[in-house]
Amino acid sequence: MEKYNIATAVAEMYNISRVDHMIVHRIDYATSGLLVFARHEKALVELHKQFREKKRLYKRYTAVVKGILPTLEGEIDLPIGRDPSRGPPFFMIHVEEGKRSMTHWTVVKHGVDKTYVHLYPLSGRTHQLRLHMAAIGHPILGDYFYAPDDAYAAAPRLMLHAESLGLVHPVSREDMIFRALCPLKQTV
């Protein structure tokens, strides 16, 4: 029997028999924010193509990270691969065998020993934002997987939110932007 979650609820709402035939954009269980579901197979194929090609796709996440970032913006270009010592679901920065991964970040607001940032994943690797921020010494607060104990304990949840997503409608070809306003800024 399949677990009941938001995907199964949406599938029931639109009478879709297989959940895997509708999920386009998903987030880690601890991340809040936007999800994208396709309502039919043709839309699923087209949206998956957009996510693969990343031509007109726009994604912005918000996060609260440990420490004060040294500049107001930057780019992280570090390859990501599976972590053989910890196994699934863990990943790591893996220079030799990892897949190229890029993240652009901008500072929105500084707090006391923490920073509220916008993160723009230019590639779409599992745990990319979490790994990249930890790799530059500014882990996302509340991150159970990759933050040191003090950064994990500094927040009641993972302070990562999928806030904005832009794509082309799979049928009308209209540019669309979706937003899920983020409550994290209030914590900085």
Question: Which residues are identified as catalytic?
Answer: 28
Return d(Cα 140, Cα 142) in angstroms, integer.
Answer: 6
The token pair at 30 is 């601890």
Could you tell me what percentage of the chain is helix, strand and coil, using 3-state DSSP and rounding each to the nearest 5? Answer: 20, 30, 45
Residue 148: is the preceding peptide bond cis (ω within 30°)?
A: no
Cβ-proximal residues to 9 (8 Å cutoff; 6+ apart), any chain: none
